[in-house]
Amino acid sequence: MTLLTEPIRETARRSVLCWLATVDAQGQPNVSPKEVWAIADDCHVVVAHIASPISARNIAQQPQVCVSFVDVFVQKGFKLLGAAREVHAADPEFATWAKPLLAMVGQRFTIHSVLVVHVKSVAAIVAPSYRFYPDDTTEASQVQSALRRYGMGSYKK
């Protein structure tokens, strides 16, 4: 079953960061921005462990995670719930999972391991304006609002 459809993949491509939420053995949550991540296939997201010791430790203790990402201009995105595991550089499957991440970083960062998330469910994230003001809110109006807020001239989808 394809959970990570083309619209989800397209939003992921337009999202600079994702946010990985984990929880430790005592139930303390941790949310961490991740710069190097990708949708690997129809049901997996891969995240590079570059500087993520807390995320990796938490996943070893409690695999349930949430990955969220948003196109900040359109102000829409997705929340992915699933179970994660860490694949170390010495593991035979590392090269397969790390391939899209290594293509992103080249020699810029060392990827210590890959956090592989098996996605179990997907939910849309939308700015409240879409729900509370549906007649006045469009993707174009949200983009224009974001451009003004960020002091930018244009945006390409």
Alpha-carbon gap, residue 141 to 138, rounded angstroms: 5
The HSE-up count of residue 136 (CA atoms within 13 Å, CB side) is 5
**CATH code at position 98:** 2.30.110.10
Using the 8-state DSSP alphabet, how is residue 137 labeled? -
Is 22 a member of any domain? yes
pLDDT at 147: 82
Is 108 a member of any domain? yes
pLDDT at 144: 85
Residue percentage of the chain with pLDDT more than 70 = 99
pLDDT at 143: 84
Q: What is the mean pLDDT of residues 20-37?
A: 96
Q: Are 20 and 67 in contact (CB under 8 A)?
A: yes
Those residues with Cβ within 8 angstroms of residue 9's Cβ, 6 or more apart along the chain or in another chain: 39
- 3-class DSSP state for residue 99? helix
Q: Are 130 and 64 in contact (CB under 8 A)?
A: no
Domain of residue 40 covers 6-128
Query: Six-digit token pair at 50?
Result: 């570059």
Mean of pLDDT over the chain: 93
Query: Six-digit token pair at 35?
Result: 């710069």
Strand stretches in the chain, DSSP E:
18-23, 29-34, 37-39, 44-49, 64-71, 76-88, 113-126
Is 143 a member of any domain? no
Query: Six-digit token pair at 84?
Result: 């994660």
Interval 53-83: pLDDT, tens: 999 999 999 999 999 999 988 999 999 999 9
Is 107 a member of any domain? yes
**157 pLDDT higher than 70:** no
Is 83 a member of any domain? yes
Is 140 a member of any domain? no
pTM > 0.85? yes
**3 pLDDT higher than 80:** yes
Interval 94-137: pLDDT, tens: 999 999 999 999 889 999 999 999 999 999 999 999 899 899 89
Is 61 a member of any domain? yes
Q: How many domains does the chain fold into?
A: 1
pLDDT at 139: 87
